[in-house]
Amino acid sequence: MKVFNKHTRELKETEAPRQEYARLGKALTRAIVRDNIQVTHNWRRFITINFVRGLFFGLGSVVGATLLVALVLWLLNVFGGLPIVGDWFDAISSALNKNSTAQ
């Protein structure tokens, strides 16, 4: 396969991409397996990594849900002034606000 090098402006013959991708895939698989073996043999590291991973997952879920709810409420308030669906958006917005203040 020929590849154009834009810095030297020349075509070069390279190794077939499938062979290169296969070699990179094997190297990546070996690295992943080696890392998993190292982590699972040390139980303290295993527990620590999974605990921190769980904390970040929970934090990300809370932040993401908060941003999503804020975006939905903002959009409902913005579109509340539309003539056809404004009343419907206002009803949804007031119901959401009433439920959020009740909790």
pLDDT digits (tens, 9 = 90+) for 13-50: 666 677 888 888 999 999 999 888 887 888 888 899 89
| Per-residue model confidence (pLDDT) at position 103 | 61
The pLDDT tens digits for 82-96 are 677 777 877 887 888
Closest CA to 76 of 67, 63, 85: 85
Q: What is residue 59's predicted lDDT score, i.e. its pLDDT? A: 98
Residue 21, SS3? helix
In this model, does residue 61 exceed pLDDT 90?
yes
Instruction: State residue 14's pLDDT score.
Output: 64
C-alpha 46/C-alpha 48 separation (Å) is: 6
